[in-house]
Structure 1
């Protein structure tokens, strides 16, 4: 019996995405062709001129759930890369040709491909230029992360597992015609992949689909849960508008910044040590738990979590309830008008053979991220422990951090060297 026969198709596709490479792509295509009773749906081709100049402007291309919250694609790959040599203007032209070939191969939507290309501080050091973003650092007193020090990061996302695999392989010269479209150029000879390659997934039932990879699904977690910790995320009220995270001035106006934080999750402890009431209280707030406003997986919340209102009670909840929620702590860092400063594009992962989260956020400045992350840490709150009863901190642990600039599309190909 093959692996594709012994596990669910959904789990098999996620496993192939995590493995990567042309062999995984071939296996993915074979499994799709062998699907009984399923009609093959063509992957839409694209037109680079139809994509906006803001790389991070995905919302117009995303589907929404029944409540109107944007739904991110199911499959995600984060490909780190380093420059092979000092880049030239010709290299920049070649990179742009490769990226435009990918845009021609796939439509600008979740059935096609959404992607961003970002650059770390080391890239700008390579150019002997001042970096527009800071080096990553530890943001709380309870973490000791590894820092991403490679030159760049490509984020690929699609509802189709073969699309992210094929696009990655095509960019690095391992196949010549993604979705039947000839590549005009590749990244080969200019950059090389760096470790770690990171992958992940989103969607209802995804944690259950990955149960075998994490030693089984803990008792108490629904087969239909959309995320490892049991609750939906990405509510409109908790997400920054794309304009809020867009750089307004300077050489990279129209771009954004990315912070990438990789977390390990102690999932079994979360579901065995806490009942549903406490899971709601620690995720949202004690008031959410007391009033039953969340539901089993967050289905009662529509597009608004109520975190902004709960934020005002954070200190009093710590004193009177002995517990504070992740959402209410984080909402303390919102703008004065109540707007969230971060646009989350995060997703679940089992890359490290444990439940995890690649927390990818766009924001106008890395300082915005630092402000939110330190509010989430709650080190200023009296009445709760540094981790215990302090939101989710008892169960999530920072593994890596990295900062990146995501330029506008017009400057995305080796910025500072040449423009396509």
Structure 2
């Protein structure tokens, strides 16, 4: 798929629009657009098949790192397309064994049809498979008699962050799907909630629609050059992977998956998921000089030559150190700026390890008017997410710095938050009290 030129722009825009719209017609258009430009055949694209034996897949639904493409600096790379489906549970309470078997069969259909992410070889340049996780919200868990240590309802999260509790999403569950190909996501959705009879050559014998209905769809994109192509904002750098113009996801800002995985209890091997829909004020952000934006995004002590235009020169490491955090007040007095990465690093644990693992994120492509962002993180306790998000707040620091030079928080607004238990694979199908 070409990266530049009008043809490339129209093809990519068609893919983005198709994913945002959804449905069988959108899937057909997306498959056509994602076919190689010199492919004159009428056959739909095919992708590597998955596995029949689920025991060959990782125990945790959230364990993606070994199946994500690695970038030039060796760090994991977010897939270009994401689809989040907010679900309502419509089955029996408590679920029957037959209900659970049906949901498990549906999920295994996805795993047979598409390989888990990029497969075992992450040296390639594309995630031509599917990664997904099914999480259950506190409102579902309360109905089936499950209490999970470390899982707080979204209303509590919003209150802890001095945000409006009415912004809590009213989902019972969430299915998060991730791939470099939008047609894979659309095909999976049509197989689980539509009438598609086969999926990448695999017969569809069970659907999630037997137990769930979709109450909200969210779509997003990320990747070098994608935000500039998709957003109606000429200020976004052409090569930027995210809408605010800078790289994220450095090796020192992401914990190991073991750090965010339950090690004991009935859901050992699982985790919690926090999903946020954020409004971004890109006009105000890009009204500032590039040098100021760079310092606000990372740290005022970072040298321009070491960072580059979009953070491309930082390599695998964000450059934020314990010294940057310990001397935050002194650096703020010297530069009149507090950096976002610097602030978030202040919420790390006693060994200076990050608390939350960003899982799937991207520029929202279904927002009408303005711009938005989907942010998803996994952690063993939702309180860890709250601590990291609180570290972004202006009033957490005793420094004399204007709000609009205090990281990126002044350019963000919360539209929705939700929280979920992501069970290990063996308990992912309609968990209930045992």
Residue of structure 2 in register with 1:118 after alignment: 135
Q: Is the 8 A contact 2:298 2:339 kept in 1?
A: yes
Of 396, 399, 402, 1:380 maps to: 396
Asked whether 1:134 is paired with 2:152, we answer yes
Of 321, 328, 333, 1:319 maps to: 333
Residue of structure 1 in register with 2:124 after alignment: none
Asked whether 1:64 is paired with 2:85, we answer no
Asked whether 1:275 is paired with 2:289, we answer yes
Deviations 1:384-410 (A, max 9, x none): 468322110221111111111101000
> 1-side partners of 2:306 and 2:55: how far apart?
44
Q: Matched residue of 2:266: which SS?
A: coil
> 1-side partners of 2:140 and 2:403: how far apart?
36
> 2-side partners of 1:129 and 1:164: how far apart?
30
Displacement after TM superposition at 1:260 (Å)? 0.8
> 2-side partners of 1:318 and 1:32: how far apart?
47
Asked whether 1:293 is paired with 2:306, we answer yes
Of 319, 331, 335, 1:306 maps to: 319
> 2-side partners of 1:236 and 1:149: how far apart?
34
Displacement after TM superposition at 1:175 (Å)? 0.5
Deviations 1:17-62 (A, max 9, x none): 1111111111112334583357886300000332111111101111
Q: Matched residue of 1:198: which SS?
A: strand
Name structure 1 gaps, 5 residues minimum. Answer: none
> 1-side partners of 2:405 and 2:314: how far apart?
23
Q: Matched residue of 2:285: which SS?
A: helix
- Counterparts of residues 18-417 of structure 1 (less than 5 Å): 18-33=20-35, 35-37=37-39, 42-47=46-51, 48-85=54-91, 86=93, 87-109=95-117, 110-132=127-149, 133-136=151-154, 137-138=157-158, 139-141=160-162, 146-195=167-216, 197-211=217-231, 216-219=232-235, 221-272=236-287, 274-288=288-302, 290=303, 292-309=305-322, 310-345=324-359, 346-353=361-368, 354-384=370-400, 387-416=403-432
Q: Is the 8 A contact 2:83 2:178 kept in 1?
A: yes
Q: Is the 8 A contact 2:49 2:113 kept in 1?
A: yes
Q: Which moved more, 1:95-104 or 1:31-40?
A: 31-40
Displacement after TM superposition at 1:315 (Å)? 2.1
Of 7, 12, 15, 1:13 maps to: 15
Q: Is the 8 A contact 1:205 1:226 kept in 2?
A: yes
Q: Is the 8 A contact 1:252 1:411 kept in 2?
A: yes
Deviations 1:208-264 (A, max 9, x none): 2213xxxx3233x32111110000111111001100000111110100111111111
Name structure 2 gaps, 5 residues minimum. Answer: 1-5, 118-126
Displacement after TM superposition at 1:64 (Å)? 0.6
Q: Is the 8 A contact 2:336 2:401 kept in 1?
A: no
Displacement after TM superposition at 1:154 (Å)? 0.5
Q: Is the 8 A contact 1:379 1:386 kept in 2?
A: no
Displacement after TM superposition at 1:313 (Å)? 2.0
Q: Matched residue of 1:228: which SS?
A: coil
Output the aligned Cα RMSD: 2.1
Q: Which moved more, 1:293-302 or 1:35-44?
A: 35-44
Please report the TM-score for the alignment, with normalisation by the length of structure 2: 0.89
> 1-side partners of 2:407 and 2:316: how far apart?
21
Q: Is the 8 A contact 1:25 1:165 kept in 2?
A: yes
Displacement after TM superposition at 1:202 (Å)? 1.1
- Number of residue pairs matched by the alignment: 407
> 2-side partners of 1:291 and 1:101: how far apart?
49
